[in-house]
Amino acid sequence: MDNELQLFFKKSDITYTKDKIFISNFDVLKENIETISKFIRNSEVNEKTVKEVKKILANANKTIYAIDSLKKKIKQDLLSPYLHFEGQIKELIQGIKEAEKDARSKVRDLEESERSNKKNAIEKLFNKRNQLIYKISWLTIDKFIKNEYLNKTYSMKKIEEELVVFFEKIKNDLDVLEKMTNNQFLLLNYQEHLNLALVLQDKSTQKCRRALNAFKLPCKVSISITQQIALEKITNLLEEHLFAYTIE
């Protein structure tokens, strides 16, 4: 990394002195104030002494005001270099924050581009396998792809393995549905959910209701695929030879 692109700093780069502010006659002033306070506290104020008390206080307040004004000036003089120093530090911090913001934006754009490219690669793989092997015209990539597939940590090898499992499951499900009569509605239902158990559950409920309606019996369905096919055959037999009824 070039030296211009690195920040170098050591404590000795900032210099300052711990200046002391010293009142040389502080003890004398403090003693004088205590004497004035004691004098006023012990004096009997009357028309004769009131002028003297006011004169003493006016002189004391004038002196204290002068000291306080000097204190404010000293404070301003001492703070001025600090405020300048503080402003410099803020400028440095702001500069690095802006650089960090630009870097984050570029990284985010790069990551989004990589995710988009990976999504396109997955879609290409999906379409190629579907067109060459399975030929399921209604099946689209949105039925397969997941957000986590677009992460860097999710390898294309693993995605391809899951894609094979995905297609094989659908192929097997469709084989089951193809063996059923009047399966157009079932196929449409399956295309929406890709859930064979749910489709067969709906089919079973309808068939059971129709078959048992003649007997006025309740229908509670929770059966396997094998049982579903058996129920299909029994119900068809009932419809053809024994009963004439409609779905509730």
Q: How confident is the model at residue 245 (pLDDT cuts 50, 70, 90)?
A: very low
Average confidence score pLDDT of the chain? 80
* pLDDT tens column, 115-148: 999 999 999 999 999 999 999 999 999 999 999 9
242 pLDDT above the threshold of 50: no
* pLDDT tens column, 173-208: 999 988 887 788 888 889 988 998 888 887 655 655
Closest CA to 166 of 174, 155, 154: 174
Mean pLDDT of the 31-40 span: 87
pLDDT at residue 159 in the model: 97
Mean pLDDT of the 110-119 span: 96
Those residues whose C-beta lies under 8 Å from the C-beta of residue 60, and which sit 6 or more positions away, are 33, 36
Q: How confident is the model at residue 160 (pLDDT cuts 50, 70, 90)?
A: very high
214 assigned to some structural domain: yes
DSSP, res 182: S
Number of domains in the chain: 1
Tokens 């004691």 belong to which residue? 38
Amino acid in the structure at residue 204: S
Distance, in Å, from the CA atom of 92 to the CA atom of 166, rounded to the nearest integer, reads: 55
138 assigned to some structural domain: no
Amino acid in the structure at residue 91: E
pLDDT at residue 241 in the model: 42
* pLDDT tens column, 209-232: 455 454 444 544 444 555 555 555
* pLDDT tens column, 40-88: 888 887 777 788 888 888 888 888 888 888 888 888 888 888 899 999 9
233 assigned to some structural domain: yes
Distance, in Å, from the CA atom of 41 to the CA atom of 20, rounded to the nearest integer, reads: 35
Those residues whose C-beta lies under 8 Å from the C-beta of residue 13, and which sit 6 or more positions away, are none
Is 88 buried (19+), middle (13-18) or exposed (0-12) by CB count in 10 A? exposed
Q: How confident is the model at residue 95 (pLDDT cuts 50, 70, 90)?
A: very high
187 assigned to some structural domain: yes
Mean pLDDT of the 158-180 span: 94
CB atoms within 10 A of CB 219: 15
201 assigned to some structural domain: yes
Q: Is the pTM of this model over 0.85?
A: no
Query: What is the domain extent for residue 221?
Result: 179-248
210 assigned to some structural domain: yes
Tokens 């405020």 belong to which residue? 83
Q: Which run of H or E residues covers position 84?
A: helix 50-129
226 assigned to some structural domain: yes
Which one is predicted more confidently, 199 or 160?
160
Distance, in Å, from the CA atom of 113 to the CA atom of 107, rounded to the nearest integer, reads: 10
Is 159 buried (19+), middle (13-18) or exposed (0-12) by CB count in 10 A? buried
Sign of CA dihedral 190, 197, 183, 211: negative
240 pLDDT above the threshold of 70: no
